[in-house]
Structure 1
Amino acid sequence: YWQGLVTNFANPKAGVFAVSFLPQFVPQGAPVLPTLLAFSVIWAVIDLLWYLPLIWLAGRVRGVLQRRSIQRRMEQISGAVLVGLGLRLAIES
């Protein structure tokens, strides 16, 4: 958990995106800083509402996904998808 949290805070992409994306939605004449803070809070709440069910689902399927047979099958499927995408790219180029 802590490693993911530190990685997330050390990654400037989300901040750069917010600084470049959110200001266009500040109404003309509105106070910029409070409006951007409100947008940030709304964004955080929406993220929380989106990720909580995903976290719950991941916890439920964790046991299944840790089985070696399932991991091997997922590796085979993802490998086949990558080979297929590579072939498609080679054919179209």
Structure 2
Amino acid sequence: MIGLAALWAVFEVGYYGLYVWFVGRLQHVISRAAVRRRLEQVSGGVLLLLGIRMAVEG
């Protein structure tokens, strides 16, 4: 179990390390106003749809 936990920890550190590196490389693209506005629109739409789904189910 300890070996599996250590393997999982190494996997997670590697995954998040690659994620941080990738976002850092795309920082100049992500920081543009048009891209940020589009990302906010998409995330807002997803949250709105999830809220509607929860209202319909519950």
**So what's the TM-score if we normalise by structure 1?**
0.50
- Out of 27, 37, 44, the position equivalent to 1:62 is 27
Number of aligned residues: 58
4+ residue stretches of structure 1 with deviation over 6 A? none
Q: Summarize the Cα distance change of 1:41–1:76 in structure 2 as closer, same or farther, 3 Å threshold.
A: same
Q: Summarize the Cα distance change of 1:84–1:52 in structure 2 as closer, same or farther, 3 Å threshold.
A: same
Q: Summarize the Cα distance change of 1:40–1:69 in structure 2 as closer, same or farther, 3 Å threshold.
A: same
5+ residue gaps, structure 1, are 1-24, 26-35
How far apart in 1 are the matches of 2:12 and 2:56?
39
Indicate the residue corresponding to 2:44 in structure 1. 79
5+ residue gaps, structure 2, are none
Percent identity, aligned pairs only, is 38
Indicate the residue corresponding to 1:13 in structure 2. none
Deviation at 1:42, TM superposition (A): 4.0
Q: Which has the larger radius of gyration?
A: 1
Indicate the residue corresponding to 1:51 in structure 2. 16
**So what's the TM-score if we normalise by structure 2?**
0.73
Structure 1 or 2: more helix by fraction: 2
